């Protein structure tokens, strides 16, 4: 009888994922520098890109309004985002400064939140940036450049968002295998959307980041607790926790897994995790 080989651990480190993230930042910045241009083509291209920068500011504001920001960092963040908004006209004329300024916003935003989960949730709010923009039919040189500018900015923001999201994902201490799978599925869906869209030509660095993050999460899967479906008679959740784990320390975890249950009570079909 052939025995199944044990899973191979790759032991990707958080530092390695961070290094891959930094490479993506550099390569995506180079794409903006080489492709973004409001100084040639139709006069309306400058105004159109100005609206894109306004949308970037609005998106960051939605993020910081939705996810709790560490209070001692809020003032400096407000000053930074306001400075970006006021300097946007000048930034549009120099793509390298524009890209660096957006990079600075992402770096600062990555330090605004208390936990990796909050940081991941914040960047996930930026996954749809620019997706609802009206279509541009590139029938002239000016419109072709306008479309390219939009594509480049949209992809730049979305690539930065998923890059920092990947880093946040490997910093989370996961409770269960299903938690890992849920996060990873969302990241994979976003990766596929980004790489299928117009904008950048080369996603090899982003692919390397994705591989590093997936390898790290695969390692976490080997020790993650599994979710098991059970059926129980009505009893306090703490009693159920003691029944399965020998103590009541896991009561809050069971409550989080079964939020549809009456508060503090277990009844009928529900989920538990392996010990």
| Interval 106-121: pLDDT, tens | 999 999 999 999 999 9
Where residue 241 falls among pLDDT bands split at 50, 70, 90?
Answer: confident
Where residue 7 falls among pLDDT bands split at 50, 70, 90?
Answer: very low
What confidence score (pLDDT) does residue 4 get? 36
Listed residues 186, 207, 223: the one ending a domain: 223
Task: Specify whether 148 is located in the same domain as 234.
Answer: no
Task: Specify whether 89 is located in the same domain as 192.
Answer: yes
Q: Which of 75-79, 197-201, 233-237 has the highest mean pLDDT?
A: 75-79
Pick the range with the lowest mean pLDDT from 43-52, 153-162, 261-270: 261-270
Q: Is the pLDDT of residue 208 over 70?
A: yes
**Within a domain: 21:** yes
Tell me if residue 224 falls in helix, strand or coil.
Answer: coil
The pTM for the full model equals 0.83
**Within a domain: 154:** yes
Say what percent of the chain tops pLDDT 90: 59
**Within a domain: 201:** yes
Distance (Å, whole) CA 1 – CA 217: 31
**Are 254 and 176 in contact, with CB atoms under 8 Å apart?**
no
Task: Specify whether 24 is located in the same domain as 78.
Answer: yes
Task: Specify whether 131 is located in the same domain as 243.
Answer: no
Report, as an integer, the average pLDDT of 92-116. 95
Task: Specify whether 129 is located in the same domain as 238.
Answer: no
What confidence score (pLDDT) does residue 275 get? 63
**Within a domain: 6:** no
**Within a domain: 115:** yes
What confidence score (pLDDT) does residue 41 get? 61
**Within a domain: 68:** yes
Where residue 5 falls among pLDDT bands split at 50, 70, 90?
Answer: very low
Task: Specify whether 202 is located in the same domain as 254.
Answer: no
Query: 158 lies in which domain range?
Result: 14-223
**Within a domain: 9:** no
DSSP at 267 = E
How many structural domains does the chain have? 2
- 59-88 burial, b at 16+ Cβ within 10 Å, e below that, comes to bbeebbeebebeeeeeeebeebbeebeeeb
The alpha carbon torsion through 48, 52, 55, 60 (nearest 10 deg) reads -160
Task: Specify whether 118 is located in the same domain as 243.
Answer: no
Q: What are the DSSP calls for 76-99, one per residue?
A: HHHHHHHHHHHHHHHHHT-HHHHH
What confidence score (pLDDT) does residue 264 get? 74
Report, as an integer, the average pLDDT of 97-102. 97
Q: Is the pLDDT of residue 2 over 50?
A: no
What confidence score (pLDDT) does residue 130 get? 94
Pick the range with the lowest mean pLDDT from 5-9, 85-89, 177-181, 269-273: 5-9
Task: Specify whether 257 is located in the same domain as 147.
Answer: no
Distance (Å, whole) CA 157 – CA 129: 7
**Within a domain: 7:** no
Q: Which of 216, 201, 173 is nearest to 9 (CA)?
A: 216
pLDDT in tens, 124-154: 999 999 999 998 998 988 899 999 999 999 9
Report, as an integer, the average pLDDT of 200-206. 85
Q: Which of 170, 177, 159 is nearest to 10 (CA)?
A: 170
Report, as an integer, the average pLDDT of 68-75. 83
Tell me if residue 107 falls in helix, strand or coil.
Answer: helix
pLDDT in tens, 168-180: 999 999 988 889 9
Report, as an integer, the average pLDDT of 242-252. 82
Handedness of CA 180, 167, 153, 51 (dihedral sign): positive
């Amino acid at each position: 009888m052939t025995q199944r080989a044990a899973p191979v651990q790759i032991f990707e480190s958080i530092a390695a994922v961070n290094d891959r993230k930094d490479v993506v930042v550099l390569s995506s910045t180079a794409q903006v520098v080489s492709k973004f241009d409001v100084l040639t083509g139709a006069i309306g291209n400058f105004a159109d890109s100005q609206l894109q920068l306004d949308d970037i500011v609005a998106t960051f504001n939605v993020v910081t309004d939705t996810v709790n920001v560490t209070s001692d960092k809020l003032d400096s963040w407000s000053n930074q985002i306001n400075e970006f908004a006021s300097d946007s006209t000048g930034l549009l004329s120099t793509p390298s400064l524009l890209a660096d300024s957006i990079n600075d916003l992402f770096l600062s935003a990555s330090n605004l939140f208390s936990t990796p989960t909050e940081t991941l949730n914040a960047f996930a709010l930026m996954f749809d940036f620019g997706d609802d923009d009206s279509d541009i039919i590139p029938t002239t040189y000016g419109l072709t450049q306008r479309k390219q500018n939009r594509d480049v900015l949209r992809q730049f923001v979305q690539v930065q968002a998923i890059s920092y999201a990947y880093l946040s994902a490997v910093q989370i201490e996961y409770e269960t295998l299903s938690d890992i799978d849920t996060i990873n599925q969302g990241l994979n869906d976003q990766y596929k959307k980004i790489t299928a869209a117009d904008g950048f030509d080369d996603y090899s660095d982003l692919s390397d980041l994705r591989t590093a993050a997936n390898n790290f999460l695969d390692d976490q899967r080997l020790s993650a607790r599994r979710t098991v479906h059970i059926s129980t008679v009505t009893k306090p959740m703490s009693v159920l926790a003691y029944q399965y784990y020998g103590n009541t320390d896991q009561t809050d975890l069971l409550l989080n897994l079964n939020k549809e249950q009456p508060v503090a009570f277990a009844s009928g079909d529900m989920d538990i995790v392996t010990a």
